[in-house]
Amino acid sequence: SCQKSSGGPEAAAFVKVSMDGAPYLRKIDLRMYKSYDELSNALSNMFSSFTMGKHGGEEGMIDFMNERKLMDLVNSWDYVPSYEDKDGDWMLVGDVPWPMFVDTCKRLRLMKGSDAIGLAPRA
């Protein structure tokens, strides 16, 4: 009963999305999506023209939920989705519940896999 009820629909949450190596950034409204899966699909489509072509037709994005794949990123063309949170820290996308992510994400970066290899989970 102490909780504030928000009036009307929530405001849009536009954030910049950069992809390492891409010539320009995009902007998306995070509130357009209901889950990490939806976001992943949207980003794959948005940047497909840069990830495909010369480097094979495979999607460059990694599966947010597939941690094992993080171990295998060196020399691959995979991209790791990371985000800058309100503290200014760059974090791996997918660890916190979706609503919390939408509230704390200030900016998205699809990081070249080899740059993010330090993120690989310990055995």
Partner 1 sequence: SSWQKIATPRVRTYTKVQKTGSVGRSIDVTSFKDYEELKSAIECMFGLEGLLTHPQSSGWKLVYVDYESDVLLVGDDPWEEFVGCVRCIRILSPTEVQQMSEEGMKLLNSAG
Backbone angles phi, psi at 88, to 5 degrees: 85, 15
Go through the chain and tell me how many residues it has. Answer: 123
> In angstroms, what is the minimal distance from the CB of 122 to partner 1?
22
Q: Which is nearer to partner 1, 25 or 71 (CB)?
A: 25
Q: How many CB atoms lie within 10 A of CB 93?
A: 20
Residue 85 CA to residue 36 CA, distance in Å, equals: 16
CA 70 from centroid of its chain's CA atoms: 14
CB of 8 to partner 1, least distance (A): 17
* Minimum CB distance to partner 1 smaller for 19 or for 102: 19
Instruction: Give the residue among 123, 51, 102, 106 at the shortest CA–CA distance from 80.
Output: 51
Q: Which is nearer to partner 1, 18 or 96 (CB)?
A: 18
CB of 73 to partner 1, least distance (A): 10
Q: Closer to partner 1 at the Cβ: 15 or 92?
A: 15
- Binding-site ranges for partner 1 (CB under 8 A): 12, 14, 16, 18, 20-28, 49-50, 53-55, 74-75, 112, 114-115
96 and 64 in contact (C-beta within 8 Å)?
no
